[in-house]
A and B are shown apart, each in its own frame.
Chain A
Amino acid sequence: MLKIPQKEYVAIRQHGEETYPHECCGVLLGTADGDERVVTSSARCGNTRVDSPHNRYHIDPKELVRIQREGRDRGEDIVGFYHSHPDHPARWSLTDLEEAHWLGCSYVITSVAKGKADLTNSFELAGDGESQKKFLDEQIQIV
């Protein structure tokens, strides 16, 4: 389960509309307790995949190091990530699974249809390692 404040929920969907027809991406910070992740803030990131921004995203690890450090100073941990699927469903792709490595974190996907944010779904990257990782549907609760 992912608990997210209305403000952040609106912000990540809006981000997808702003970058349309390119994919947006960002980080969700907060606290994690077992299967429950509580978002307290989000951070927008640039998409470094300038070669194919309409269907790929990549966050510069240097940006992640900074976001992780700033979060730490506020007592927040990285609990998940978000990105958009311009004109594609809000479902993870094989590319998403292949390139997901933050086990136990939430991966939130918003489909953006013709520039308008449509569905937003969240998936927990579950499993005990690279060889058996999988995405599980998880509930989003707006708080």
Chain B
Amino acid sequence: MAKIHIPTPLRQYADKHATVEVNAGTVGEALTGLVSKHPDLRRHLYTDEGKLRAFVNVYLNDEDIRYLQKEGTALKDNDSISIVPSIAGGSQDIDEVANLRIVELNSALPTCCCPACCC
């Protein structure tokens, strides 16, 4: 049995489970087992062409499967698989349009309770 750890944003598509156990010989089979148990997860993990989405990192214990044998990586008993969407961004390309859009979306600006600011 391998354990698959589901990241917080995807749990709502996995009946709220934080971990799902599957019987599988490879990482690919484990992920297939996961999406067959929880079909709503499929579109979040895979592209329409059936490839793992680029921003979805899959770790077997502490290793990125891209540096192992990818989805063909063999599983041992008690292995744990972690699905971690990537975290990145930056201040570059600050776009006024983006800021206008957010004002449209939220007529009220957030009330801030920090001691440092005036709002």
Q: Which residue numbers of A lie inside 8 Å of B, CB to CB?
A: 9, 23, 25, 27, 32, 49, 52, 55-59, 61-62, 64-66, 68-69, 72, 77-79, 81, 83, 85-86, 88-89, 91-105, 107, 117-122, 125, 129-130, 134-142
Which of B44, B56, B86, B90: most chain A Cβ within 10 A? B90
Flag if B55 contacts A56 (CB, 8 Å): no
Flag if B89 contacts A129 (CB, 8 Å): no
A–B Cβ pairs within 8 angstroms, 29 of them: A58-B88, A62-B62, A89-B94, A91-B99, A91-B102, A92-B89, A93-B89, A93-B90, A95-B91, A95-B92, A97-B98, A99-B86, A99-B87, A99-B88, A99-B89, A99-B90, A100-B89, A102-B8, A104-B9, A117-B116, A118-B116, A119-B116, A120-B114, A121-B110, A122-B110, A136-B106, A139-B110, A140-B113, A140-B114
Flag if B8 contacts A101 (CB, 8 Å): no
Known: A64-B84, A68-B82, A129-B44. A23 touches B62 (CB 8 A): no
Flag if A56 contacts B8 (CB, 8 Å): no
Interface size on B, residues (CB 8 A): 41
Kindly count the residue-residue contacts between A and B in the assembled complex, taking CB atoms under 8 Å apart. Answer: 156
CB distance from B85 to the nearest CB of A (A): 4
Known: A61-B59, A65-B59. A93 touches B88 (CB 8 A): no
Residue B57, interface by CB 8 Å: yes
Flag if B106 contacts A137 (CB, 8 Å): yes
Set B5, B85, B117: member contacting A102, Cβ < 8 A: B85
Interface residues of B in 74-96 (CB under 8 A from A): 82, 84-95
A112 to B106, CA, bound (A): 24
What residue in chain B is nearest A138 (Cβ atoms)?
A: B110
What residue in chain A is nearest B56 (Cβ atoms)?
A: A101
CB distance from A140 to the nearest CB of B (A): 6
Interface residues of B in 24-64 (CB under 8 A from A): 43-44, 53, 55-57, 59, 62, 64
